[in-house]
Amino acid sequence: MNMNELERRAEMLKVLSHPQRLCIVRGLITYRCNVSKIQETLGLTQSGLSQHISKLKAAGIIKGVRNGKEICYQVVDKDALRIVDIMFEGIE
């Protein structure tokens, strides 16, 4: 494995290590939704959620898909999806 790939994976783990981002990704694995729904569900401030979304997008873990006037987010990184699934195994 080359160093660029190792750095990408290490960055993904850093981004996922925050509890709220981990919760956002877990929710987006099950449901594609917009910022308002994520904010309502987790009780985050708009600015706090915006920072989390930005970090997840920058790491390539999620992406937004425009649906009319709103943007629905979904998990697009298969490695992140597997990691989060493993982390939540047997919890719910």
How far is 25 from 18, CA to CA, in rounded Å? 11
CA distance 39 to 35: 6
Contact criterion met (CB below 8 Å) for 32 and 73? yes
pLDDT averaged per 10 residues in sequence order, the chain, 92 residues: 90 95 93 89 91 96 92 94 90 71
Backbone conformation region of residue 76, classed left if phi is above 0, alpha if psi is from -120 to 50, else beta? alpha
Q: What is the pLDDT of residue 77?
A: 95
Q: What is the DSSP string of 34-78?
A: -HHHHHHHHT--HHHHHHHHHHHHHTTSEEEEEETTEEEEEE--H
- pTM of the shown model: 0.89
